[in-house]
Amino acid sequence: MLKDTLFPTKITLNCQGKCIDLSQPVIMGILNLTPDSFFAGSRQWQIAPEVLLEKAAKMLEQGALFLDLGAYSTRPGAADISVEEEIDRLLPALENLRKQLPQALLSVDTFRSKVAEQALLAGAHLINDVSGGTLDAAMFATVAHYKVPYVLMHMRGTPQTMQQHTQYNQLVPEVISELLNKARELHQLGVTDVILDPGFGFAKTIDQNFEMLRQLDQLVQYGYPVLAGLSRKSMVYRTLKGTAETALNGTTVLNTIALSKGARILRVHDVQPAAEAIQLWKKIENI
């Protein structure tokens, strides 16, 4: 596979006029606004706004650059909800964080263009789409219109069916090819800030997840910032015969491997351990 020559290595993002430097790794903290996310410790649905605000402020204090708000659970087998319910869960939290933590860079985890648009109008800085534009044909145009960074994740099927779509002839080349094709579509629409996410846990078996991590540098070489979302996922806790609640140590190990392979954003439930991993990795790399 030839190196994509459309864009050189991208080490900055434009987040509503704020230039974000990705020459060194950064952290995206997860704030789930759902009752059924796979890690119970991350569920923030219908809690008091001050509790969510406290958790968000703590993530920023511990070193998170982005806060990623998600109001639709994408764990395998999660129930589908309406666009209206997703917006109703999301907007009050987003608006409160925007008001109370104006320094925070707010990412919204959604695959629906209507949700993305409402979030961007409310002040979100970035869209994180688990479907990579495959579940809503209007998503790319929406992101292009608002000129915001976009996390392009690899997935096949839907959150309800994705684990039925794990058949690949060559896993890594196929994932990379599908991501690059979508990235080119985005560039043609004028979206310049594209972040690639290989989609650990989405339409991939546990062994395939590890193969993707083993060859993550093959994706990094194309010059796009790469996001690694490994936090407390089943590839960690099933391998270690534990649960999501016991998967922090394994997550830190895999995050460190992802850093060594070139990942520039770690999306995590636990910010401080990720920040410590980055600090120690930088020491090793003499950065």
Active-site residue, from 89, 182, 232, 267: 267
pLDDT for residue 41: 52
CA gap 168, 178 in Å, rounded: 12
Q: Is 46's pLDDT higher than 70? A: no
Average pLDDT over every residue of 129-149: 97
pLDDT for residue 38: 44
pLDDT for residue 143: 98
Following DSSP, what letter does each residue of the chain receive, concatenated?
-PPP-SS----EEEETTEEEE-SS-EEEEEEE--S--SSGGGB-TT--HHHHHHHHHHHHHHT-SEEEEE-S--STTPPP--HHHHHHHHHHHHHHHHHH-TT-EEEEE-S-HHHHHHHHHTT--EEEETTTTSS-TTHHHHHHHHT--EEEE---S-TTTGGG----SSHHHHHHHHHHHHHHHHHHTT---EEEE--TTSS--HHHHHHHHHTHHHHHTTSS-BEE--TT-HHHHTTTT--GGG-HHHHHHHHHHHHHTT--EEEES-HHHHHHHHHHHHHHHT-
The CA-to-CA distance between both ends of the chain, in Å, stands at 31
pLDDT tens digits for range 47-57:
678 889 999 99
**Domains of the chain from N-terminus onward:** 25-285 (3.20.20.20)
pLDDT tens digits for range 22-45:
999 999 999 999 875 544 554 454
267 included as an active-site residue: yes
**pTM score, whole prediction:** 0.92
CA gap 223, 280 in Å, rounded: 24
Average pLDDT over every residue of 57-84: 90
Active-site residue, from 89, 112, 182, 233: 233
pLDDT tens digits for range 251-260:
999 999 999 9
233 included as an active-site residue: yes
Average pLDDT over every residue of 11-20: 93
pLDDT band at 159 (very low <50, low <70, confident <90, very high): confident
pLDDT for residue 45: 47
Mean pLDDT of the chain: 92
pLDDT tens digits for range 272-284:
999 999 999 999 9
